[in-house]
Chains A and B, each alone.
Chain A
Amino acid sequence: MATETDIATEVSHFESLPAEAWLVRSCEQFEAELKECRRPKGRFHQYFIHGELADCSQWREDVANCYRWRRKADPEAMAALVESERARRDARLAAHRANTVWESRPAPPDGWNGPLPEHLERKRQDSFLHRMQTEDAAREREGSDGATAPPQPPETPQRAQCVVQ
């Protein structure tokens, strides 16, 4: 329920959201990241890995902007948040793309979950995991009203369009 201070949660403000607003995490998550960045154990972790202390100012700015958006629906605050999240995402993906030891696959390997050798398939059929999997699938097929839905055909694995390559 929207309180007096949470103007941005009103439906009328959804239309003013930028296209990449889905990148922005909640204010509580920003606070958690800032806390982790500044706490002694977090500082020790930074020194152990990087040999220096991290700059937490961007997290602090993001927390402030997040609450400014939440309480006053400030579009500049939201724009700054989107920019910050995009920069963070780009930096992480740049490091991944800079790894040129190997090439990317255009598609998953052939026969990803092909048939197992006979002795392994026999072991699989007798396993606790297989039994639990069957029970979970049966439970999912039964709806909340107790009606049994027809079994669905197995999905053909597809690579999501937006996944990192």
Chain B
Amino acid sequence: MIIRETVSCEAMPQSDEKYGSEVPQDSDKDKCVKSEPHDLKTPPAEKKTGAGDDKRASDNSAKVDYGYDLYPERQGGKYKPSVWEHFFLHEGENLSDQITCEKNVYNCFKKSHGVKLMLAALKASGCPVDMSRNVSCETCEHIVTGGYDPSTNQIVVCQNVARKENVVQGILVHELIHMFDFCTKKVNFANLEHLACTEIRAANLTHCSYISSIMQGDSSPINIKRTHQECVKNKAACSLVAARGISKREAVRIVDLVFPQCYGDLEPIGRRVRRNSDDIRRAYLERHKYGYV
């Protein structure tokens, strides 16, 4: 199975609709979808109309792809762009995109304090990260920007979506948190509570700045107090919906179940970093106190 990354969360359509309130069953899944995914070129067995439609939920027991369909290169396939995508979105320039992506990954490994902190924590935990072995730049469907594949122990960076170094940095830190959880804890990614917990931790530590919380619909200029939690809950629930095809209500229930414990667990970064601040550098400088050297 593959842990999908950074599926964009659509803002909640009704401004007065609070997180966790009763929502109609047939409308709650699609709130987590940024756009309709493309018709898949591979594998041909599945045709999507929405990332969280009922077909996925009902077929979940029979279908074991666990998300590989959005990452065609994982199982030896190749993403084939349409004519439109080729000429207007410059899709299909795989080699050029791959080299740009790998250069960004290399620069992050060498310069980014967040990535270096995670690498040190993983190495100290007995799980060294090999840049070429554990990171793969691939072409993916546009609704994902990256992922973590525990079966091959690789982080997938979507070279056709993540084209800038700061975006690649965010993906790497997020996926390295999943990797850290897998390395140090008995995480079973088929267990929804475990999946929810690792997604809560990743969203808590790497996403949900005030601006992204506004864009997600969880905060506003007049609603600021403690809305970071709502952003993290919403993001984690959306990740569960996209990864497992369960209903939003079920995802919310599972996230609420594990939230108090997982929200407070900040290892190995140790703080909720403020965007555009020096926090991550200071977190990196104090890593030796926790054995991450």
Residue of A nearest to B183 (CB): A108
Query: B258: CB under 8 A from chain A?
Result: yes
How far does the alpha carbon of A84 sit from the alpha carbon of B230 in the complex, in Å? 32
- Which one of A47, A102, A160 contacts B186 once the chains associate, using CB atoms below 8 Å? A102
Q: Across the interface, which residues of A come within 8 angstroms of B289, CB to CB?
A: 23, 85, 89
Within 8 A of A (CB), among B112-152: 121, 123-128, 130-137, 152
Known contacts being A95-B264, A128-B103, is A159 close to B126, with CB within 8 Å?
yes
Q: Across the interface, which residues of B come within 8 angstroms of A93, CB to CB?
A: 267, 290
Interface residues on A, range: 35 or more
- Which one of B181, B225, B266 contacts A47 once the chains associate, using CB atoms below 8 Å? B225
Query: Closest approach, in angstroms, between the C-beta of B253 and any C-beta of chain A?
Result: 15
Known contacts being A112-B127, A164-B267, is A102 close to B132, with CB within 8 Å?
no
Q: Across the interface, which residues of A come within 8 angstroms of B40, CB to CB?
A: none
Q: Quick check: which of B18-26, B54-62, B275-283 contacts chain A, the rest being far away?
A: B275-283
Known contacts being A101-B194, A113-B134, A124-B132, is A47 close to B127, with CB within 8 Å?
no
Query: B98: CB under 8 A from chain A?
Result: yes
A127 touches B102 (CB 8 A): yes
Query: B219: CB under 8 A from chain A?
Result: yes
A108 touches B133 (CB 8 A): no
Within 8 A of B (CB), among A90-149: 92-93, 95-96, 98-105, 107-109, 112-114, 116-117, 119-120, 123-124, 127-130, 132-133
Query: B79: CB under 8 A from chain A?
Result: no
How far does the alpha carbon of A71 sit from the alpha carbon of B277 in the complex, in Å? 30
How far does the alpha carbon of A145 sit from the alpha carbon of B289 in the complex, in Å? 35
- Which one of B132, B184, B288 contacts A130 once the chains associate, using CB atoms below 8 Å? B132
Query: Closest approach, in angstroms, between the C-beta of B85 and any C-beta of chain A?
Result: 22
B187 touches A102 (CB 8 A): yes
- Which one of B106, B194, B197, B219 contacts A48 once the chains associate, using CB atoms below 8 Å? B219
Q: Quick check: which of A2-10, A11-19, A36-44, A62-70 contacts chain B, the rest being far away?
A: A36-44
Query: Closest approach, in angstroms, between the C-beta of A159 and any C-beta of chain B?
Result: 4
Q: Mark B183-220, 1 if CB is under 8 A from A, else 0.
A: 11111000001100100000000000010010000010
Q: Across the interface, which residues of A come within 8 angstroms of B265, CB to CB?
A: 95-96, 98-99
Q: Mark A22-44, 1 if CB is under 8 A from B, else 0.
A: 11010001001100100001101
B282 touches A99 (CB 8 A): no
Query: A45: CB under 8 A from chain B?
Result: yes
Closest 6 A-B residue pairs measured CB to CB? A159-B126, A163-B291, A51-B226, A130-B132, A108-B126, A99-B265
Known: A45-B272, A98-B261. 9 other contacts (CB 8 A): A33-B282, A100-B261, A101-B197, A102-B187, A104-B185, A112-B183, A133-B132, A155-B128, A163-B291
A interface residues, Cβ below 8 angstroms from B: 22-23, 25, 29, 32-33, 36, 41-42, 44-45, 47-51, 85, 89, 92-93, 95-96, 98-105, 107-109, 112-114, 116-117, 119-120, 123-124, 127-130, 132-133, 155, 157-165
